[in-house]
Structure 1
Amino acid sequence: MHRSYRTFLGAAAVAAIAATVVSIAAVPASGTASAADEQPSAVESYSYPGADAILASDHVQLISGDGHILYKPCPVPETAGLIIVRSTDRIGSAGTGKVCFEVTGTVGHLVLKIPNVYAIRGDGSSGSAGHKLTAQLTTDTGAHTTVDVNPNGDTQVGIATTPPGDATTLLQLDASR
């Protein structure tokens, strides 16, 4: 029993020395870990990939989402299967004031900022049902509204409503089946 106790103590001492050597080797010569040495966070930020490039080229601010509502260049002529947002600003890949989004799942969520929106078209057509879509908008005075978008047609918002309303900024799209 005395021999096994010594063996245990010896093994513990070797393990402690090895751990010390590994921890010393992991610290840079300055004694502090640099940001480049740290592992990236495993927490998903949900920030929109390529948002800076899209803002620079198409003047559309995409902030975050779940990855199921994707920004797409608008085809000519327009086709079903895409949400179409119209603005009086010269936005979009062609600068026509029109931007498109594709819902790739049964549900989708996108936080964005598109000023001067006057119409939102659902992604359905007369032959196929589109997603149920809600749009959150705000005015320059801070009045927030949530609008149910026609899944198979256009929904007028802001200055295009009757009577004409205030200019609106689109803040969020939520899609479901």
Structure 2
Amino acid sequence: MRISSRLLVVGLAGSALAGGAFLLTGAANAADHTGAPTVADAPTEQLPSTVEDFSYPNAEKILKEKNLKLKRGNGKIILVECNSGPNLMRFIARDRQDFCFKATGNNGYLSLEVPSVGGVQSNDYNLKLTMTPAGDDKKPVPFDIPKNSWKGIGENADPAGREHTLIEITTSK
């Protein structure tokens, strides 16, 4: 008797689902003849895309408030206040306050555009920085920064003393 009651419950549930689908289809067809709204009358607006473009969150606000142009990244390098905790990457630039980032995860990437950067303090991560010098020669210049070190970069490492713009930060454990 238990088996047959279970089959009855399963059968009723299946019938209810099929009946609901029929009723919905039938209701839509019936509405066609009565003038009531149908599924075909529903708005056909496209939903916003959920494709991630990796743009840095609040980049416009950061540019206005801190004059730092942050472009794209993988979310593992986060701008923070320099006094917000230990183990931060600190960048020193002429004509602006120091700015700091916190790295998370094993690998991070950030594309940015900050002129006149001349020094960096790394943290528990190895850093690969890419900079472009001012002038006609815009060939990117790489800087490898070992973890837990201070290093002169950009104009402080350029024999000609040219101003450099920081354009990429990559972190690795």
The alignment's TM-score, normalised by the length of structure 1, stands at: 0.72
1:158–1:164 CA contact under 8 A, matched in 2: no
**TM-fit CA distance, 1:54:** 1.0
Q: Residues 55, 162 of structure 1: CA spacing in aligned structure 2 closer, same or farther, 3 A cutoff?
A: closer
Distance 2:86 2:157 in 1: 23
Letter in 1 for 2:132: T
CA-to-aligned-CA distance 1:141-164 (integer Å, 9 cap, x gap): 312111101311112122212634
The 3-state SS of whatever aligns with 1:105 is: coil
**TM-fit CA distance, 1:14:** 4.1
Distance 1:45 1:163 in 2: 38
Letter in 1 for 2:111: V
How do 1:101-140 and structure 2 match up within 5 A? Answer: 101-123=101-123, 130-140=124-134
Q: 1:55 aligns with which of 50, 63, 81?
A: 63
1:111–1:171 CA contact under 8 A, matched in 2: yes
1:121–1:150 CA contact under 8 A, matched in 2: no
**TM-fit CA distance, 1:167:** 0.8
User: Would you tell me which structure has more helix in proportion to its own residues?
Assistant: 2
CA-to-aligned-CA distance 1:12-46 (integer Å, 9 cap, x gap): x848837992122325xxxxx4xxxx311110011
The 3-state SS of whatever aligns with 2:116 is: strand
Which runs of no fewer than 5 residues in structure 2 stay unpaired?
1-21
Aligned counterpart, 1:84: 90
Which runs of no fewer than 5 residues in structure 1 stay unpaired?
1-9, 28-32, 91-95, 124-129
Q: Residues 162, 21 of structure 1: CA spacing in aligned structure 2 closer, same or farther, 3 A cutoff?
A: closer
2:125–2:146 CA contact under 8 A, matched in 1: no
The alignment's TM-score, normalised by the length of structure 2, stands at: 0.73
Larger radius of gyration: 2
Matched, 1:67 2:75: yes
Identical positions, percent = 29
The number of equivalent residue pairs is 144
CA root-mean-square deviation: 2.5
